[in-house]
Amino acid sequence: MTKISPTTPNTYVNVTDEGILKATGKNWNDWFKLLELNHALKLSHKEIVELLKKEGVESNWWRQKITLGFLTATGRRKVGQQADEGFNVGARKIFPLTVEQAWILVTSERGMNTWLQGNDNKFIEAHEDLKVISPNSHLRMRFQLPGWMKESTIQVRVIPTDDPHRSTISFHQENLATELIRDEMRKHWKTALNELMVLAETYD
């Protein structure tokens, strides 16, 4: 068998041993051993998903998670890389705002200038196309900077916390073409959240 790089504790694609065991009846090492015994190292992503279906994993979501975990553990998938060979990145922060206030913040002109353009205005010439909007919850949009090989998707969410006076603002971007772009966008989203926090502190 090919040696699989362990993590401590075993966590792959944001799923812990405990989580996958509870959902599927097997932990990560159990699934990795089963897949290796079935020669999954030679199979494509799609073929591994089909193999897991034959092994009785009814949920397509879990078939995808197990496959991505296996590909990550065996070095065939890099951190942040999606099944379609693109990359994704996310960042979030808790704000001292209600959900309604946080939504107003991220969708206001000042707020959107902060996360959509940035201080250096590098995003001004970007192609933007709003796909979905659900007030006080989330918006989803297509986004592409000049020079990018393909279009990405940005999802902005406002998530309630246990405290009604606090909420989480989350940014998630998918279908980034390279690791370099992913790293660049990670820095952007972290900076944007910090700048939004400054705006939040002056919220009236």
Contact status, residue 136 vs residue 158, Cβ threshold 8 Å: yes
Question: What's the pLDDT score for residue 77?
Answer: 64
Question: What's the pLDDT score for residue 104?
Answer: 95
Which has the higher per-residue pLDDT, 203 or 9? 203
Average pLDDT over residues 166-180: 89
State the pTM of this model.
0.59
Nearest to 70 by CA among 36, 32, 39, 42: 32
List domains and CATH numbers for the chain.
11-73 (no CATH), 87-201 (3.30.530.20)
For 133-171, what is each residue's pLDDT tens digit?
A: 899 999 998 888 888 888 888 999 999 999 999 999 999
